[in-house]
């Protein structure tokens, strides 16, 4: 009790400085959590508690999964080489160690193609301007860079249909692009693929307030949808650090997870319907708004998470939960990873229906944010803790929810699961806590080169991987571990001053083999993109991948949609 009271004292002391940085420009950053959902006052109370007596027994299972055959291109040195040997063009991406050859069956753009696109889209939606192309050719991490000479901006599904029909007939490869915040090199061309950006298809079509069903175009920015819904008394079931730039079509196409997954689950559950355009221009209307519909195969699921390789998503219908009035956020410190694990188990049990986020960061992740992002500070005394956990609860009864969380925190502190913690007292503190967690990706970018891994792993094993990688790399790299602990999703990131093949050789295939051995997934939420197209066998059987390739062949026989991504290059045959 005393310890928690101390924490409250600390919180009061920290309040001033947290307020002081409200006006910092970093807080205006477009990839920064909106405050719109915090509408109530975070009143402070310290309730009596019962001593925490329960101790969890951990029974870790070791499941060995034999490494399946996998196809991989030979490792290469860094840099890009285009058109080195006669007609063959190949690209090397240093951070990917993947050599990719431009497929000879694809045509190159000519003046007639440009004229055709201008005819259907109008001059201003056919972009050849170098600066705009350079941005669209480069991914968020500035790690993957294509050399497309054309960016198209359709405004409606019928325009997408005409573009694709034409490209298919000409064998022109295309890349669907939303907000270009993807982290696996899926959203930018590898060579000269035509970029089809969905940003101009950004209308909200309807909102059914009775059932909470939103229908909108694919180019709507996630944060704009969140603001629209906020005014209607609803929220998006999905929230992520890139919300200011990513689009709902991109979210659906990557099956993005994010910060609310622990509460609202996957987009496979929340997306009720969608409209998608196939490679040959066929518009598939699957834009249902029903909760239940068992008529035949539910084809929309093929497009959720297929990363633009099967079609271009043009409209989405999504189930949105009502906005609940009480949101509480605690930023906590734990002495070791086992305490984080036990805290998660307890939170699931004791906070149950109100638990809306359970995120974890190791000390190295927090240091990365503190060292590289301006205006961010640790609300807890520095250098004392090895792990941090951010817990959010969302419910409908302010005093009940708060009491519940505080009782849980006090018990956890008594039981030694938490070594220190602060509870946000207002919206600014809540944002400041989230800024630490959401800022890790941005801080890593500022620190230099980053090798990024997004893994699903059994929670009890997860952090062993971070430690093993740290030991392997020694002083040559900064290894950080953070992520969506509540979903068993680790973000393992390795930061170095610049990309280096020797470092990469120490990380891969070790990380993928380790993940496979522990029956994890090499992509929890970011997708495979270009980065992991050839690594799919670490998580999926050869038979499964073969069926995926058959589906791809059926829907996109010429392979024009996002080539070199998602599936192993060797499996992608072209007519």
List residues binding ligand MLT (CB under 6 A): 241, 440-441, 454, 491
If one asks whether residue 462 binds ligand FAD (CB under 6 A), the answer comes out as no
Cα→Cα distances 377→29, 33, 329, 369, 421, Å: 17, 17, 16, 9, 14
> Quick one: 412 or 562, whose CB is closer to ligand FAD?
562
Q: Does 436 bind ligand FAD (CB under 6 A)?
A: no
Q: Which residue is nearest to ligand FAD (CB)?
A: 250
Q: Using CB distances below 5 to 8 A depending on partner kind, what does residue 491 bind out of ligand MLT, ligand FAD, none?
A: ligand MLT
CB of 145 to ligand FAD, least distance (A): 14
Least spacing, CB of residue 248 vs ligand MLT, in Å: 17
Minimum distance, C-beta of residue 377 to ligand FAD, in the bound complex (Å): 20
Q: Where are the beta strands (DSSP E) in 183-255?
A: 194-197, 204-208, 213-217
Contacts with ligand FAD, 37-76, as mask; x by CB under 6 A:
----------------------------------------
Q: Is 509 exposed, middle or buried (0-12, 13-18, 19+ CB in 10 A)?
A: middle
Residue number with CB closer to ligand FAD (221 or 409):
221
254 lies in the binding site for ligand FAD (CB under 6 A): yes
Contact partner at residue 486 from ligand FAD, ligand MLT, none, CB < 5 to 8 Å by partner kind: none
Tokens for 342? 């036990």
* Only segment of 144-152, 178-186, 223-231, 498-506 that touches ligand FAD (CB under 6 A): 178-186
Task: State the residue number with the nearest CB to ligand MLT.
Answer: 441
Instruction: Measure the CA dihedral 215/219/224/225, to 10°.
Output: 20
Question: Rounded to whole angstroms, how far apart are CA atoms 211 and 214?
Answer: 9
Cα 45 from chain centroid? 35
Sequence-ordered list of residues with C-beta below 8 angstroms from that of 59, at least 6 positions apart, any chain = none
Phi, psi at 361, each rounded to 5° = -140, 140
How far is C-alpha 537 from the chain's CA centre? 21
Part of the chain binding ligand FAD (CB under 6 A), chosen from 253-261, 381-389, 421-429, 550-558? 253-261
User: How many residues are present in the chain?
Assistant: 575
What's the CA dihedral at 210, 212, 214, 220 to 10 degrees?
140
And the tokens for 62? 């070791």
Selection from ligand MLT, ligand FAD, none that 52 binds (CB < 5 to 8 A by kind) is none
Note whether 193 binds ligand FAD by CB under 6 A.
no
Q: Which is nearer to ligand FAD, 37 or 385 (CB)?
A: 37
Question: Which one among 313, 329, 332, 391 touches ligand FAD, defined by CB under 6 A?
Answer: 313
CA nearest to 252, candidates 231, 225, 227: 225
Q: Which does 440 bind (CB under 5 to 8 A by kind): ligand FAD, ligand MLT, none?
A: ligand MLT
- Residue 110: burial class (beta carbons within 10 Å; 0-12, 13-18, 19+): exposed
Output 277 or 507, the one with its CB closest to ligand FAD.
Answer: 277
**Contact status: 525 vs ligand FAD (CB under 6 A):** yes
Q: Does 246 bind ligand FAD (CB under 6 A)?
A: yes
Q: What share of the chain is helix, strand, coil (3-state, %, to 5)?
A: 35, 20, 45
Q: Between 337-350 and 459-473, two packed helices, what is the crossing angle to 10 degrees?
A: 160
Total number of residues binding ligand FAD (CB under 6 A)?
39
Applying CB under 6 A, which residues contact ligand FAD? 31, 140, 175-183, 186-187, 198, 218, 240-242, 246-247, 249-251, 253-254, 256-258, 307-308, 312-313, 441-442, 525-526, 529, 562, 565
């Amino acid at each position: 009790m005393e310890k928690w009271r101390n924490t409250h004292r600390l919180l009061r002391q920290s309040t001033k400085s947290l307020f002081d940085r409200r006006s910092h420009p970093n807080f205006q950053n477009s990839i920064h959590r909106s405050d719109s959902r915090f509408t109530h006052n975070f009143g402070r109370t310290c309730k009596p508690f019962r001593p925490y007596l329960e101790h969890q027994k951990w029974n870790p299972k070791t499941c060995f999964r034999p490494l399946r055959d996998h196809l991989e291109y030979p490792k290469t040195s860094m840099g890009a080489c285009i058109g080195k040997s006669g007609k063959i063009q190949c690209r090397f991406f240093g951070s990917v160690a993947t050599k990719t050859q431009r497929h000879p069956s694809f045509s190159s753009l000519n003046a007639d193609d440009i004229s055709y696109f201008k005819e259907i889209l109008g001059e201003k939606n056919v972009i050849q301007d170098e600066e705009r192309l350079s941005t669209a050719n480069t991914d968020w991490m500035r790690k993957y860079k294509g050399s497309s000479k054309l960016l198209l901006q359709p405004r409606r599904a019928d325009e997408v249909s005409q573009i694709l029909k034409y490209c298919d007939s000409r064998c022109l490869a295309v890349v669907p692009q939303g907000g270009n915040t993807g982290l696996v090199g899926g959203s930018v061309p590898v060579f000269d693929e035509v970029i089809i950006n969905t940003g101009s298809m950004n209308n909200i079509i309807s909102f059914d307030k009775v059932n909470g069903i939103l229908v909108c175009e694919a180019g709507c920015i996630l944060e704009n949808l969140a603001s629209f819904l906020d005014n209607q008394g609803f929220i998006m079931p999905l929230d992520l650090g890139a919300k200011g730039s990513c689009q709902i079509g991109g979210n659906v196409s990557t099956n993005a997870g994010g910060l609310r997954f622990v509460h609202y689950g996957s987009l496979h559950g929340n997306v009720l319907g969608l409209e998608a355009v196939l490679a040959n221009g066929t518009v598939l209307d699957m834009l249902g708004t029903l909760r239940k519909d068992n008529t035949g195969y539910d084809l929309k699921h093929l497009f959720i998470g297929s990363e633009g390789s099967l079609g271009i998503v043009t409209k989405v219908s999504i189930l949105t939960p009502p906005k609940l009035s009480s949101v509480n956020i605690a930023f906590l410190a734990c002495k070791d990873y086992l305490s984080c694990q036990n805290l998660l188990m307890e939170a699931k049990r004791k906070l149950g229906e109100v638990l809306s986020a359970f995120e974890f960061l190791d000390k190295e992740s927090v240091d990365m944010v503190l060292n590289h992002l301006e205006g961010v500070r640790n609300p807890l005394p520095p250098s004392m803790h090895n792990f941090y956990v951010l817990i959010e609860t969302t419910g409908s009864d302010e005093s009940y929810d708060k009491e519940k969380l505080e009782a849980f925190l006090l018990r956890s502190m008594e039981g030694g699961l938490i070594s220190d913690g602060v509870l946000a007292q207002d919206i600014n503190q809540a944002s400041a806590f989230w800024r630490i967690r959401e800022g890790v990706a941005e801080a890593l970018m500022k620190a230099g080169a980053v090798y990024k891994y997004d893994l699903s792993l059994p929670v009890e094993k997860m952090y062993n991987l971070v430690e093993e990688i740290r030991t392997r790399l020694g002083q040559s790299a900064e290894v950080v571990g953070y992520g969506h602990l509540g979903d068993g999703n680790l973000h393992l990131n390795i930061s170095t001053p610049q990309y280096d093949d020797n470092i990469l050789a120490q990380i891969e295939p070790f990380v993928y083999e380790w993940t496979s051995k522990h029956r994890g997934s090499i992509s929890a939420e970011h997708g495979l993109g270009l980065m992991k197209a050839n690594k799919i066998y670490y998580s999926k059987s050869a038979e499964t991948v073969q069926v995926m390739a058959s589906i791809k062949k059926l829907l996109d026989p010429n392979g024009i949609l996002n080539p070199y991504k998602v599936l192993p290059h060797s499996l992608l045959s072209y007519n």
